[in-house]
Amino acid sequence: MIVDVHAHYYPRRYLERIDRADLPYPGVAPLGAQTIDERLALLDRCGVDVQVLSLSQAQPYLPAAKDAAEAASMGNDLFAELCAEHAGRFYTLAVLPLPFVDESLAEIDRALSLSPVVGFTMGCTIAGRQVDDPQLEPVYAELDRRQAAVLLHPVGQDCLCSDKDYNLAWLCGGTFEDTIAATRLALSGIGDRYPNIKFIVPHLGGTLPFVLARMMRMTKGRGEEAIHRMYFDTVSGSVEALRCAADVMGADHLLYGTDYPYEAEEDFEERLSFFDRSGLDAATTDHIKGGLAVELLGIS
Protein backbone atom coordinates (compact mmCIF):
# COMPACT_ATOMS: atom_id res chain seq x y z
CA MET A 1 0.00 0.00 0.00
CA ILE A 2 1.26 3.49 -0.89
CA VAL A 3 0.20 6.24 1.51
CA ASP A 4 0.79 9.95 0.94
CA VAL A 5 0.88 11.51 4.42
CA HIS A 6 1.40 15.12 3.30
CA ALA A 7 -1.43 16.19 1.00
CA HIS A 8 -3.72 19.17 1.30
CA TYR A 9 -7.38 19.86 0.74
CA TYR A 10 -9.08 23.25 0.94
CA PRO A 11 -12.87 23.20 1.47
CA ARG A 12 -14.19 26.49 0.15
CA ARG A 13 -16.70 26.99 2.99
CA TYR A 14 -13.96 26.60 5.56
CA LEU A 15 -11.58 28.99 3.79
CA GLU A 16 -14.31 31.62 3.65
CA ARG A 17 -15.01 31.03 7.36
CA ILE A 18 -11.41 31.82 8.33
CA ASP A 19 -11.04 34.57 5.69
CA ARG A 20 -8.41 32.67 3.66
CA ALA A 21 -10.18 32.42 0.32
CA ASP A 22 -6.80 33.15 -1.31
CA LEU A 23 -5.73 29.52 -0.79
CA PRO A 24 -4.37 27.55 -2.46
CA TYR A 25 -2.18 30.14 -4.16
CA PRO A 26 -2.86 29.75 -7.92
CA GLY A 27 0.67 30.59 -9.04
CA VAL A 28 2.33 27.92 -6.92
CA ALA A 29 -0.36 25.22 -6.76
CA PRO A 30 -0.69 23.81 -10.30
CA LEU A 31 -2.96 20.99 -9.12
CA GLY A 32 -5.13 23.28 -7.02
CA ALA A 33 -7.88 23.46 -9.64
CA GLN A 34 -8.33 19.70 -9.90
CA THR A 35 -11.68 18.20 -8.99
CA ILE A 36 -11.75 15.29 -6.56
CA ASP A 37 -12.39 12.92 -9.48
CA GLU A 38 -9.34 14.30 -11.30
CA ARG A 39 -7.32 13.97 -8.14
CA LEU A 40 -8.32 10.35 -7.69
CA ALA A 41 -7.47 9.65 -11.34
CA LEU A 42 -3.98 11.06 -10.73
CA LEU A 43 -3.56 8.90 -7.64
CA ASP A 44 -4.63 5.85 -9.62
CA ARG A 45 -2.16 6.60 -12.42
CA CYS A 46 0.67 6.93 -9.92
CA GLY A 47 -0.37 3.93 -7.83
CA VAL A 48 -1.07 5.95 -4.68
CA ASP A 49 -3.68 4.11 -2.62
CA VAL A 50 -4.36 6.63 0.16
CA GLN A 51 -3.89 10.32 0.85
CA VAL A 52 -3.91 11.66 4.40
CA LEU A 53 -5.42 15.13 4.06
CA SER A 54 -4.52 18.20 6.07
CA LEU A 55 -5.07 21.95 5.96
CA SER A 56 -1.53 23.22 5.39
CA GLN A 57 -1.17 26.82 6.61
CA ALA A 58 -4.95 27.31 6.80
CA GLN A 59 -5.17 26.74 10.54
CA PRO A 60 -8.24 27.96 12.47
CA TYR A 61 -6.18 30.27 14.67
CA LEU A 62 -8.77 33.03 14.97
CA PRO A 63 -8.64 35.73 17.68
CA ALA A 64 -11.79 34.64 19.58
CA ALA A 65 -12.08 31.22 21.19
CA LYS A 66 -15.66 30.68 20.02
CA ASP A 67 -14.81 31.53 16.42
CA ALA A 68 -11.72 29.32 16.43
CA ALA A 69 -13.66 26.39 17.88
CA GLU A 70 -16.48 26.71 15.36
CA ALA A 71 -14.02 26.97 12.46
CA ALA A 72 -12.04 23.92 13.61
CA SER A 73 -15.20 21.85 13.95
CA MET A 74 -16.41 22.96 10.52
CA GLY A 75 -13.10 22.09 8.89
CA ASN A 76 -12.87 18.70 10.53
CA ASP A 77 -16.44 17.84 9.61
CA LEU A 78 -15.93 18.86 5.97
CA PHE A 79 -12.83 16.68 5.76
CA ALA A 80 -14.66 13.76 7.36
CA GLU A 81 -17.51 14.13 4.83
CA LEU A 82 -15.10 13.94 1.90
CA CYS A 83 -13.37 10.91 3.39
CA ALA A 84 -16.71 9.17 3.91
CA GLU A 85 -17.65 9.80 0.27
CA HIS A 86 -14.43 8.10 -0.85
CA ALA A 87 -13.96 5.55 1.90
CA GLY A 88 -10.50 4.03 1.99
CA ARG A 89 -8.91 6.60 -0.36
CA PHE A 90 -8.71 9.54 2.03
CA TYR A 91 -8.05 9.91 5.75
CA THR A 92 -7.55 13.18 7.58
CA LEU A 93 -5.49 15.00 10.20
CA ALA A 94 -7.78 17.20 12.28
CA VAL A 95 -7.13 20.84 13.16
CA LEU A 96 -7.45 22.33 16.64
CA PRO A 97 -8.66 25.79 17.76
CA LEU A 98 -5.33 26.68 19.31
CA PRO A 99 -4.12 28.42 21.39
CA PHE A 100 -7.41 27.99 23.30
CA VAL A 101 -6.87 25.05 25.62
CA ASP A 102 -10.38 24.08 26.72
CA GLU A 103 -11.74 24.34 23.20
CA SER A 104 -8.82 22.31 21.83
CA LEU A 105 -9.28 19.57 24.42
CA ALA A 106 -12.94 19.34 23.49
CA GLU A 107 -12.11 19.17 19.77
CA ILE A 108 -9.50 16.45 20.32
CA ASP A 109 -12.19 14.30 21.90
CA ARG A 110 -14.79 15.14 19.25
CA ALA A 111 -12.48 14.77 16.26
CA LEU A 112 -11.25 11.35 17.34
CA SER A 113 -14.86 10.14 17.22
CA LEU A 114 -14.80 10.79 13.45
CA SER A 115 -13.62 7.57 11.80
CA PRO A 116 -11.43 9.14 9.07
CA VAL A 117 -9.36 11.11 11.63
CA VAL A 118 -5.97 9.46 12.14
CA GLY A 119 -4.19 12.31 13.92
CA PHE A 120 -3.84 16.07 14.07
CA THR A 121 -1.99 18.90 12.38
CA MET A 122 -0.73 22.12 13.91
CA GLY A 123 1.24 25.12 12.72
CA CYS A 124 4.96 25.55 13.31
CA THR A 125 3.81 28.67 15.12
CA ILE A 126 0.39 29.22 16.64
CA ALA A 127 -1.14 32.68 16.34
CA GLY A 128 2.27 34.21 17.01
CA ARG A 129 3.11 31.78 19.80
CA GLN A 130 5.88 29.22 19.61
CA VAL A 131 5.03 25.52 19.82
CA ASP A 132 6.70 25.23 23.24
CA ASP A 133 4.51 27.92 24.80
CA PRO A 134 3.73 26.70 28.36
CA GLN A 135 0.04 27.51 27.80
CA LEU A 136 -0.17 24.54 25.43
CA GLU A 137 1.04 21.92 27.92
CA PRO A 138 -2.48 20.55 28.69
CA VAL A 139 -3.04 20.04 24.96
CA TYR A 140 0.21 18.10 24.61
CA ALA A 141 -0.67 16.06 27.69
CA GLU A 142 -3.97 15.02 26.12
CA LEU A 143 -2.39 14.27 22.74
CA ASP A 144 0.16 12.14 24.57
CA ARG A 145 -2.56 10.30 26.47
CA ARG A 146 -4.25 9.58 23.14
CA GLN A 147 -0.92 8.52 21.55
CA ALA A 148 -1.75 10.87 18.70
CA ALA A 149 0.18 11.59 15.53
CA VAL A 150 0.76 15.32 14.96
CA LEU A 151 1.95 16.73 11.63
CA LEU A 152 3.65 20.10 11.98
CA HIS A 153 3.29 22.52 9.08
CA PRO A 154 4.77 25.93 8.26
CA VAL A 155 2.40 28.87 8.27
CA GLY A 156 4.45 31.24 6.10
CA GLN A 157 5.18 33.76 8.81
CA ASP A 158 6.90 34.26 12.17
CA CYS A 159 10.28 33.17 10.82
CA LEU A 160 13.41 34.94 9.60
CA CYS A 161 12.18 34.74 6.01
CA SER A 162 8.72 36.20 6.50
CA ASP A 163 9.36 39.25 4.32
CA LYS A 164 7.77 39.38 0.88
CA ASP A 165 10.98 39.65 -1.14
CA TYR A 166 11.44 36.75 -3.57
CA ASN A 167 8.71 34.72 -1.83
CA LEU A 168 11.35 33.71 0.74
CA ALA A 169 8.69 32.71 3.27
CA TRP A 170 7.96 29.65 1.12
CA LEU A 171 11.11 29.23 -0.97
CA CYS A 172 13.19 28.54 2.13
CA GLY A 173 11.39 29.95 5.16
CA GLY A 174 9.04 26.98 5.46
CA THR A 175 11.94 24.59 5.98
CA PHE A 176 13.37 26.87 8.66
CA GLU A 177 9.95 26.88 10.35
CA ASP A 178 10.07 23.07 10.35
CA THR A 179 13.54 23.11 11.88
CA ILE A 180 12.75 25.67 14.56
CA ALA A 181 9.47 24.06 15.63
CA ALA A 182 10.99 20.59 15.93
CA THR A 183 14.01 21.98 17.78
CA ARG A 184 11.82 23.87 20.24
CA LEU A 185 9.78 20.74 20.95
CA ALA A 186 13.01 18.87 21.65
CA LEU A 187 14.97 21.47 23.63
CA SER A 188 11.97 22.51 25.74
CA GLY A 189 11.51 18.93 26.94
CA ILE A 190 8.03 18.59 25.40
CA GLY A 191 9.22 15.68 23.28
CA ASP A 192 10.53 13.91 26.38
CA ARG A 193 7.60 14.75 28.66
CA TYR A 194 5.11 13.52 26.07
CA PRO A 195 6.92 10.66 24.29
CA ASN A 196 3.69 9.08 23.03
CA ILE A 197 3.02 11.95 20.62
CA LYS A 198 4.18 10.91 17.16
CA PHE A 199 5.43 14.21 15.75
CA ILE A 200 5.82 14.30 11.96
CA VAL A 201 8.12 17.04 10.66
CA PRO A 202 7.60 17.86 6.96
CA HIS A 203 10.11 18.43 4.16
CA LEU A 204 12.64 15.85 5.43
CA GLY A 205 12.87 17.74 8.71
CA GLY A 206 13.69 21.08 7.12
CA THR A 207 17.39 21.66 7.77
CA LEU A 208 17.61 19.23 10.71
CA PRO A 209 19.56 16.48 8.88
CA PHE A 210 22.22 19.06 8.01
CA VAL A 211 22.48 20.92 11.34
CA LEU A 212 21.65 18.20 13.88
CA ALA A 213 25.27 17.28 14.67
CA ARG A 214 26.10 20.96 15.28
CA MET A 215 23.03 21.38 17.49
CA MET A 216 23.83 18.32 19.58
CA ARG A 217 27.46 19.38 20.01
CA MET A 218 26.43 22.85 21.20
CA THR A 219 23.70 21.57 23.55
CA LYS A 220 25.66 18.52 24.76
CA GLY A 221 23.03 16.20 23.32
CA ARG A 222 20.02 17.91 24.84
CA GLY A 223 16.82 16.87 23.06
CA GLU A 224 18.52 14.34 20.80
CA GLU A 225 16.34 11.42 21.89
CA ALA A 226 13.20 13.50 21.30
CA ILE A 227 14.31 14.40 17.78
CA HIS A 228 15.10 10.80 16.95
CA ARG A 229 11.59 9.81 18.09
CA MET A 230 10.13 12.16 15.48
CA TYR A 231 9.14 11.20 11.95
CA PHE A 232 9.86 13.07 8.72
CA ASP A 233 8.00 13.15 5.44
CA THR A 234 9.83 12.95 2.12
CA VAL A 235 8.54 16.14 0.50
CA SER A 236 11.68 17.42 -1.20
CA GLY A 237 12.28 16.07 -4.70
CA SER A 238 16.00 15.73 -4.08
CA VAL A 239 17.51 12.25 -4.04
CA GLU A 240 20.59 13.63 -2.27
CA ALA A 241 18.47 15.21 0.46
CA LEU A 242 16.53 11.95 0.86
CA ARG A 243 19.77 10.01 1.34
CA CYS A 244 21.01 12.56 3.87
CA ALA A 245 17.79 12.37 5.89
CA ALA A 246 17.82 8.56 5.74
CA ASP A 247 21.40 8.51 7.05
CA VAL A 248 20.95 11.11 9.79
CA MET A 249 17.33 10.71 10.94
CA GLY A 250 16.93 7.03 10.06
CA ALA A 251 15.20 5.59 7.01
CA ASP A 252 12.79 3.82 9.36
CA HIS A 253 11.44 7.24 10.39
CA LEU A 254 10.64 8.50 6.89
CA LEU A 255 7.12 8.74 5.45
CA TYR A 256 6.18 9.32 1.82
CA GLY A 257 4.60 12.72 1.15
CA THR A 258 3.90 14.92 -1.87
CA ASP A 259 2.64 18.34 -0.65
CA TYR A 260 -0.27 18.10 -3.12
CA PRO A 261 -1.40 20.43 -4.78
CA TYR A 262 1.85 22.41 -4.69
CA GLU A 263 3.47 20.83 -7.73
CA ALA A 264 2.80 20.06 -11.36
CA GLU A 265 1.61 16.60 -12.36
CA GLU A 266 5.07 15.49 -13.44
CA ASP A 267 6.50 16.62 -10.10
CA PHE A 268 3.81 14.62 -8.29
CA GLU A 269 4.89 11.53 -10.21
CA GLU A 270 8.53 12.29 -9.40
CA ARG A 271 7.78 12.12 -5.67
CA LEU A 272 7.54 8.33 -6.08
CA SER A 273 9.98 7.62 -8.88
CA PHE A 274 12.92 9.27 -7.12
CA PHE A 275 12.96 6.40 -4.61
CA ASP A 276 14.19 4.19 -7.45
CA ARG A 277 17.33 6.35 -7.70
CA SER A 278 17.89 6.66 -3.96
CA GLY A 279 19.99 3.56 -3.45
CA LEU A 280 17.66 2.44 -0.65
CA ASP A 281 16.70 -1.23 -0.77
CA ALA A 282 13.21 -2.37 -1.76
CA ALA A 283 12.10 -3.30 1.77
CA THR A 284 13.11 0.13 3.06
CA THR A 285 11.37 2.00 0.27
CA ASP A 286 8.20 -0.07 0.74
CA HIS A 287 8.27 0.86 4.43
CA ILE A 288 8.64 4.56 3.54
CA LYS A 289 6.00 4.51 0.81
CA GLY A 290 3.29 3.15 3.07
CA GLY A 291 4.25 0.48 5.56
CA LEU A 292 5.21 2.94 8.28
CA ALA A 293 2.13 5.13 7.71
CA VAL A 294 -0.13 2.08 8.09
CA GLU A 295 1.53 1.28 11.44
CA LEU A 296 1.84 4.85 12.71
CA LEU A 297 -1.61 6.12 11.75
CA GLY A 298 -3.61 2.91 11.97
CA ILE A 299 -4.67 3.03 8.33
CA SER A 300 -6.38 -0.13 7.18
In a domain, 262, yes or no: no
CA dist 254 and 19 (Å) reads 34
Residue 96 sits in a domain whose CATH number is 3.20.20.140
In a domain, 287, yes or no: yes
- Domain ranges, residue 78: 3-253+271-297
> What are the backbone dihedrals phi and psi of residue 221, each rounded to the nearest 5 degrees, phi first?
85, 5
Judging by DSSP bridges, how do beta strands 50-54 and 3-8 pair with one another? Answer: parallel
Q: Could you tell me the pLDDT band of residue 257, with boundaries at 50, 70 and 90?
A: very high
Does residue 262 contact residue 294 with C-beta atoms inside 8 Å?
A: no
pLDDT of residue 18: 97
In a domain, 264, yes or no: no
pLDDT of residue 160: 60
In a domain, 225, yes or no: yes
In a domain, 106, yes or no: yes
Amino acid 4 reads D
The torsion angle over the Cα atoms of residues 99, 26, 2 and 109, rounded to 10 degrees, is 20
In a domain, 88, yes or no: yes
CA dist 143 and 131 (Å) reads 14
Regarding pTM above 0.85, the answer is: yes
What average pLDDT does this structure show over 90-94?
Answer: 98
In a domain, 121, yes or no: yes
Q: Where are the alpha helices (DSSP H) in the chain?
A: 12-17, 36-46, 65-85, 101-111, 137-145, 168, 174-187, 190-193, 208-219, 224-229, 239-245, 265-273, 282-286, 292-297
CA dist 47 and 56 (Å) reads 23
In a domain, 258, yes or no: no
Residues 6+ apart with CB under 8 A from 127: 61, 63, 98, 99
How many domains does the chain fold into? 1
User: With pLDDT > 90 as the criterion, what percentage of the chain qualifies?
Assistant: 86
User: In the Cβ-directed half-sphere of 251, how many Cα atoms lie within 13 Å?
Assistant: 16
Does residue 262 contact residue 24 with C-beta atoms inside 8 Å?
A: yes
Torsion-angle region of residue 204: left (phi > 0), alpha (psi -120 to 50) or beta?
Answer: left
* Residue 163 vs residue 228, higher pLDDT: 228
> What are the backbone dihedrals phi and psi of residue 195, each rounded to the nearest 5 degrees, phi first?
-70, -10
